[in-house]
Structure 1
Amino acid sequence: MQIEKSTFQFLQNLQKNNNRDWFAEHKDMYLKAQKNAKNVFFEIYQKLQIHDAIEKSKMMRIYRDVRFSKDKTPYKPHFANSYSRLGAELRGSYFLRIRPGESFLAGGFWEPNKEDLFRIRKEIEQDASEIIEILKDKNYIKHFGGTFDSFSELKTAPRGFDKEHPDVDLLRKKGFIAVKNFTDEEVLSENFTDKVDESYRALRPFFNLFSDILTTNLNGESIL
């Protein structure tokens, strides 16, 4: 299963004609493209289940909520899917977006709740060596460049943490996300789902470590 060129063409046309009249006139093209994307997302879900436990696979709606947005275009010119890991012990989730010129996958902890974020920060404050080891891992660097994206950071250390801490760059993050971008050529290739799965596999040391952090106290004792 692969992303078809017609699916990409629909999304490119939608970018240029993001209005309800055009969308209504081309609803059949949308349904065909949606089905193709859904099938690709499902194949990736099946691959994930081989090496991880996934609780939920959810395809995002193409319709935008414009009530509180400056961008009043009614549709998202992309297809996206999230995969949530199973149970309290398996933290983290996977994400994939298909959009001409801007396709990417991601995984990790997007805007964790304040309790989880505080626990991660306390771990960093006490000893960030294992987290840094993940970032320096050759396979992680190959797929994600050896960094965490948070998309939002504090200007300085959070309240109650040392501004001069040697790992203040990690303490300032509001989320911990690994991101990999794809070219259009890669997305349209026959082995795209394999490439996605390979990157998802590279996330496991990251997920394993953060799952351990979020299910134990600072003494390493289980809180579940």
Structure 2
Amino acid sequence: MVQPSTLKFLKTLRLNNNKEWFDNHKSDYQNAKTDFENTVQQLIDGLSKQDPAIKGLQIKDSVFRIYKDVRFSKDKTPYKTHFGASFQSGGKKAITAGYYFHLEPGNKSFAGGGIWMPPAPALKKIRQEIDYNFEEFEQIISNKEFIRHFSKVEGDALKTAPQGYAPDNPAIAYLKLKSVLVERQFPDELCTQPAVVREILKTFAVMQPLVQFLNRALD
């Protein structure tokens, strides 16, 4: 579970997103970061039992920095107002499908995953896998438990059919995707309860067939 003080820190940071405030509250940040990392470790431990590909993953290879890269952004606030962690073979920088937990106050937290904006060669392999094995892909995303948790597969999409695919291809809606993602929202109240780790792991288990399908394409 996440301590209420961690959500409070992130909420206050949103209202004071500047270096002076952050420096004056560095101890609060460290406490919040440690609390989030404790939850991440519990998720790594549990997920390793569900998906052997996650075994050996370290916290440092999973948790994203709170410091933003503002070089190419119109928003020059220096800090993210959420904590995030990715759980995937090879760590957060690997070009593989995986799982993700996003902690953000205001009922904006979620668990989900898939693959976000893979480079062109990897995306080409994923599209080919969906095209060749669309019946299997459909079975995964139409499973009742999958729909109950995620409702749909989403991601930025091309306006037209990708090169090499006909507009009337049965899988065209998914072949247009530039990311293949699912997510389940988590309210603040649940995030601060002991049950949250169990619920996140259950969410990851439901999406595991999708993750494995995508990673098979990348092997």
Q: Gapped runs of 5+ residues in structure 1? A: 216-224
Distance 1:156 1:7 in 2: 43
Cα separation, partners in 2 of 1:79 and 1:124, compared to 1, 3 Å: closer
Q: Gapped runs of 5+ residues in structure 2? A: none
The superposition leaves residues 61-96 of structure 1 with CA deviations (integer Å, 9 ceiling, x where unpaired) of 111111111000011111111111269xxx521111
Asked if residue 177 in structure 1 is aligned to residue 176 in structure 2, the reply is no
SS in 2 for 1:68: coil
Cα separation, partners in 2 of 1:208 and 1:66, compared to 1, 3 Å: closer
Distance 2:88 2:14 in 1: 29
TM-score by length of 1: 0.87
Q: How much does 1:169 deviate?
A: 0.8
Distance 1:126 1:27 in 2: 51
Distance 1:134 1:148 in 2: 11
Asked if residue 158 in structure 1 is aligned to residue 172 in structure 2, the reply is no
SS in 2 for 1:162: coil
- Find the partner of 2:154 among 149, 155, 159: 149
Q: How many equivalent residue pairs?
A: 210
Q: How much does 1:210 deviate?
A: 2.7
Distance 1:80 1:185 in 2: 18
* Identity within the alignment, %: 34
Q: Which runs of 4+ in 1 moved over 2 A?
A: 122-127, 207-215
Code of the aligned partner of 2:102: R
Are 2:3 and 2:192, in contact at CA under 8 Å, matched by a contact in 1? yes
SS in 1 for 2:202: helix
Code of the aligned partner of 1:19: N
Judging by fraction of residues, say which structure has more helix.
2
- Find the partner of 1:115 among 110, 116, 121: 121
Larger Rg: 1
The superposition leaves residues 159-207 of structure 1 with CA deviations (integer Å, 9 ceiling, x where unpaired) of 2211122221111101211211111111111211111001011112212
Distance 2:25 2:164 in 1: 55
Point out the more displaced range, 126-135 or 42-51.
126-135
| Alignment RMSD | 1.9
Correspondence for 2:145: 139
Code of the aligned partner of 1:148: V
Counterparts of residues 181-196 of structure 1 (less than 5 Å): 181-196=185-200
Distance 2:202 2:132 in 1: 32
Distance 1:21 1:44 in 2: 33
